[in-house]
Amino acid sequence: MKAHTKETQATMTPAKSLQELKEGNIRFQKNLKANRNLLEQVSDTSKGQFPFATILSCIDSRVSSELIFDQGIGDIFSARVAGNFVNEDILGSMEFACKLAGTNLVVVLGHTSCGAVKGACDDAKLGNLTSMLAKIKPAVDAVEEPKDASLRNSKNIDFVNTVAAKNVQLTIENIRKDSEVLAEMEKKGEIKIVGAMYDINSGAVEFYQ
């Protein structure tokens, strides 16, 4: 499999890009890999890059977008921050990726048993981590059940995973609200913004449609 060129990137619609990621994740789950020469792709992309998707994910060491979607050099832009939320810098990076570099799919990828989400559920305090986790707290507050405070913490993994899913939803809403560039591109059908959840137990990605 060769690295993407300007010509092959142009053939990738948002739907086709999404399908490529889905098929890549299936290969990953089956412990298969597309036939590609990564060093050759390094050479092929040395003078330019033409990725088809932008993925915002957590810094968690188990959640590498390139691996779980079986992608090579130059295939995707990968933005990572604990808790996969957006801020001005990440939005600017996404705008560059879509408007200037040609990606037509934005994926907000959460994952099960997320440590950042657990920290937000427990209202953890530690240096700069405190302000970072505050960006995930709206997702904690938006999950209404369980109402029993003793069950609204990191020990309740079902609650944690529900908050993680809500955080993906709110992050997508924030992208549309805070980035006029991306919101306009989505309205025109130039890009698609979708959410997804990676299961750290199975390696499967569930896309939210």
111 is in an annotated binding site: yes
Say what the pTM is.
0.95
Tens digit of pLDDT for each residue in 116-148?
A: 999 999 999 999 999 999 999 999 999 999 999
The whole-number pLDDT of residue 105 equals 98
Distances (CA, A) of 51 to 66, 68, 137: 12, 16, 32
CA atoms of 97 and 17, how far apart (whole Å)? 14
Residue 190's pLDDT band (boundaries 50, 70, 90)? Answer: very high
Answer for the pair 174, 161: CB distance below 8 angstroms, yes or no. Answer: no
Tens digit of pLDDT for each residue in 11-65?
A: 999 999 999 999 999 999 999 999 999 999 999 999 999 999 999 999 999 999 9
The whole-number pLDDT of residue 54 equals 98
In what order do the strands lie in the sheet containing 105-111? 76-80, 53-57, 105-111, 192-198, 205-208
114 is in an annotated binding site: yes
98 is in an annotated binding site: no
CA atoms of 182 and 162, how far apart (whole Å)? 26
Residue spans per domain, the chain: 6-208
Residue 176's pLDDT band (boundaries 50, 70, 90)? Answer: very high
CA atoms of 103 and 42, how far apart (whole Å)? 19
Tens digit of pLDDT for each residue in 66-107?
A: 999 999 999 999 999 999 999 999 999 999 999 999 999 999
Domain formed by 6-208, architecture: 3-Layer(aba) Sandwich (3.40)
Mean pLDDT throughout 197-201? 98
CA atoms of 120 and 134, how far apart (whole Å)? 7
* 209 pLDDT more than 80: no
60 is in an annotated binding site: yes
* 5 pLDDT more than 90: no
Strand (E) positions, the chain? 53-57, 76-80, 105-111, 192-198, 205-208
